[in-house]
Amino acid sequence: MKKRNFVISIWVLLSVLFSANVFATSEKRVDWNGRFEGEEEVPGWLRTMKAGNALAYCQEFGLNSKINRQWLVPVGVTSYVGWEDGLVEARAQAFMALGQTICTTINSAIGSSLNNGAKNNIQNIAISSLTTVTGLEFEGYHWYEVEKEVVTGRNKKGKPVTSKQHVWYVYAFYSMDMTSFNTQLKLALQKIVREGGFTKEEATMIAQRGLQAMDEQYRRSAEFQQQMNEEQQKQRLAWEAQQMGIQQSFVDQQLDSLNRTQQMAETNQRNQNDLANRNATNLYNQQTLQQSYQNQLDNRNIDTNQQQIQGNTQQLESRDRANVSMAQANAQSNANQAVAQSGVASGVAGQFGSNPNISGNNADSDQAPYPTGPAMNDPLAMLMGM
C-alpha cells in the first residue's frame, strides 16, 4: 500500500512538471505606439506611472497642472483584432481601478486594526458605492503588442505543438481632481460605516482614520494648492514689501548721497569756474599791464630816439653852421687875402711900370706865358705872374 501511494505521488509530481514545461510560453514585443517616432517600447514614464508617480508622465506631455491629481492606470488586454479592443477593455476597468484606489486609501489609513476579512468587506462595499462618478478624466494611453509562442498540445510522437499568438496590452491613463476623489472617498466611508456591520468602536475608528486620509488627499487638491499659493503669495508680497522698504530706504540713502555728491560737484565746478575767471582776469590784467608797460617803454624809447635824433640833428645843424661859418670865414679870409694880394699886385705894378710881357693869360699874344729876360730872376715877379 505504501509502495502504491509512493508511485502515485511520483506520477503526480512528474505530471505537474511535464505540464508546466508543455504549456510554458516565450514572448517578445514586436510593436508599440510611437515606435516609428523613436519611442521606447516601455517608456520610463510608464514605469513610474504604474508605480503611482505621474510626475514624469505629466512633464513628458505638458500636464504639469495635473501632477497633484489622483491618477489611475487601468490595463486592458486583448488578443482579438488589435490595440483598440484593449483600449475599450482598459476604459471599462476605470471604475474598478478607482474603487481599488479608494480601498487602498482606506485600508492604508486603517492599517492592521482590522483583519483581512473585514478589509475584504470594506473593498466590496467601496466598489459598490461607485454608482455615480464625476470628475474622472481620460488623459491618454500607451500600448504594445507581444508575440507569444504557446504550446497548444502534442503530436502523435508526444512532441509539443506550438503556435504564435499576438496579444495587445493597453494602459489607459485617467486623472481625477482631489476634490472629486474625496467626494467618492466620503461616499464609500459612509456606506462602509452604515453597511459594514462593524461595532461602534470599529466604525468610529474607520471614520476617524478615513477623515484623516481625506485631509491628506485634500492637501494634494488644487483648492489646497491654491490656498497655499495664496498664502505663499501673501507671505511673498509681505516679504517683498519689507524688502521694498529696505530697498527704498537704501535707494533714499543713495539718492541723498548722490544729491550731496552732485551738490559738492556743482560747488567744486563753481569754485573752479570762479578760479578760472580769476585766473583769466589776472592774466588779462597782467597782459594789459605788460602791454601798458611795453607801450610806455616803447614810448620812452621813441622819446629817447626822438631826443637822440633831435640832438643829432642839432649837432648836425651846429656842425653845418660851423662849417658854413668856417666856409664863410675861409671865403672871407680868401677874399681878404685876394684883396690883399690884389693890393700887392697893384703896388708892384705901379713900382715896376707897365710890362707888356705880363698881360695875363692872353691866348692871342705871341708872347710866352712866363716872363722872360730879367724877370726870370725875380721870384716875386714870377709868383705874381703865375
10-residue mean pLDDT series, the chain (386 residues): 40 40 66 85 89 89 88 86 86 89 87 83 86 88 89 81 87 91 89 88 87 80 62 70 73 80 86 86 83 79 77 76 74 72 57 48 47 52 52
Spatial separation of the C-alpha atoms in residues 291 and 287, rounded to whole Å = 6
The pLDDT, as a whole number, for residue 349 is 52
**Are residue 98 and residue 122 in the same domain, yes or no?**
yes
**Are residue 172 and residue 61 in the same domain, yes or no?**
yes
174 with 139: CB under 8 angstroms? yes
Spatial separation of the C-alpha atoms in residues 132 and 147, rounded to whole Å = 39
- Per the listing, cell 514585443 goes with 29
**Are residue 33 and residue 166 in the same domain, yes or no?**
yes
The pLDDT, as a whole number, for residue 163 is 82
The residues pairing with 32 across neighbouring beta strands, listed in sequence order, are 144
The pLDDT, as a whole number, for residue 313 is 76
Asked if residue 54 is part of any domain, the answer here is: yes
Spatial separation of the C-alpha atoms in residues 54 and 69, rounded to whole Å = 9
* Number of structural domains in the chain: 3
Asked if residue 231 is part of any domain, the answer here is: no
Rg of the chain over all Cα atoms, to the nearest angstrom: 75
**Are residue 143 and residue 287 in the same domain, yes or no?**
no
Asked if residue 83 is part of any domain, the answer here is: yes
Looking at 220, 253, 285, the residue that finishes a domain is 220
**Are residue 196 and residue 275 in the same domain, yes or no?**
no
Spatial separation of the C-alpha atoms in residues 100 and 194, rounded to whole Å = 20
**Are residue 31 and residue 104 in the same domain, yes or no?**
yes
Asked if residue 180 is part of any domain, the answer here is: yes
The pLDDT, as a whole number, for residue 20 is 42
**Are residue 126 and residue 253 in the same domain, yes or no?**
no
**Are residue 117 and residue 55 in the same domain, yes or no?**
yes
**Are residue 288 and residue 349 in the same domain, yes or no?**
no
The pLDDT, as a whole number, for residue 129 is 87
**Are residue 181 and residue 131 in the same domain, yes or no?**
yes
The pLDDT, as a whole number, for residue 22 is 40
Quote the domain boundaries for residue 346: 329-353+378-386
Asked if residue 263 is part of any domain, the answer here is: yes
172 with 94: CB under 8 angstroms? yes
Please choose, from the candidates 363, 364, 355, the residue with its C-alpha nearest in 3D space to the C-alpha of residue 385. 355
The pLDDT, as a whole number, for residue 25 is 65
**Are residue 28 and residue 166 in the same domain, yes or no?**
yes
Asked if residue 360 is part of any domain, the answer here is: no
Asked if residue 28 is part of any domain, the answer here is: yes
